[in-house]
Amino acid sequence: MAATNHLDFILGAYGAAIAVVAALIAWVLLDYRAQMRNLADLEKRGIVRRSAGGRSGSTMEKTKEEA
C-alpha cells in the first residue's frame, strides 16, 4: 500500500485543518479588537473596570465596613 494512493486525502485533510485553525485565529483576533473597542467606549463613558486599580480597594473596604 503506497502513500501516494491516498495523497489527495492527506493533502485535503491537512488543508482543511489549516483552514479551520486560520479561521479560528482570525475569529479570535476580530473578537479581541471588538472587545477592546467596547472597553474603550465604556471607559469614555466613565465606567471603569474593577481591576483598573485604586478605587477598587477603597470600595472593598467600605463594603466590609458596612457589613
pLDDT tens for each residue of 39-61: 999 999 998 777 766 555 555 56
pLDDT at 34: 98
Range of the domain at 33: 25-67
Please state the rounded mean pLDDT for residues 17-21: 98
Q: Within a domain: residue 50?
A: yes
Q: How many residues does the chain have?
A: 67
Q: Within a domain: residue 52?
A: yes
Q: Within a domain: residue 39?
A: yes
Contacts of 40 (CB under 8 A, 6+ apart): none
Q: Within a domain: residue 5?
A: no
Q: Within a domain: residue 63?
A: yes
Q: How many domains does the chain have?
A: 1
Q: Within a domain: residue 14?
A: no
Q: Where are the alpha helices (DSSP H) in the chain?
A: 7-44, 55-66
Q: Within a domain: residue 31?
A: yes
